[in-house]
Amino acid sequence: MEPVHYLVTKIEGDYAILVTTGRPEAVEAPVALALLPDGVAEGTRLLWEDLEYTIIG
């Protein structure tokens, strides 16, 4: 699977709203906070690779 870059645009309750970056069309996806690394906040950039999210600078 190809790595995907995301931006956390909003946190609503137990979910973060992620938007893809670096692609022709942005796709919005809700993801449970329990699946994301500690320290995720609005504006955090994430990399999804090998079925795991990591925070990137």
Taking the C-alpha atoms of residue 47 and residue 10, their distance in angstroms, rounded to an integer, is 17
* pTM for this entry: 0.92
Q: How far apart are CA 57 and CA 32, in angstroms?
A: 21
Residues 5-51 pLDDT 10s:
999 999 999 999 999 998 899 999 999 999 999 999 999 999 999 99
In sequence order, the β-bridge partners of residue 33 are none
pLDDT of residue 31: 98
Boundaries of domain holding 45 = 4-56
What are φ and ψ of residue 34, in 5° steps?
-65, -20
Task: Using the CB atoms, write b or e for 9-39: b if 16+ within 10 Å.
Answer: eeeeeebbbbebeeeeeeeeeebeeeebeee
What is the domain count for the chain?
1
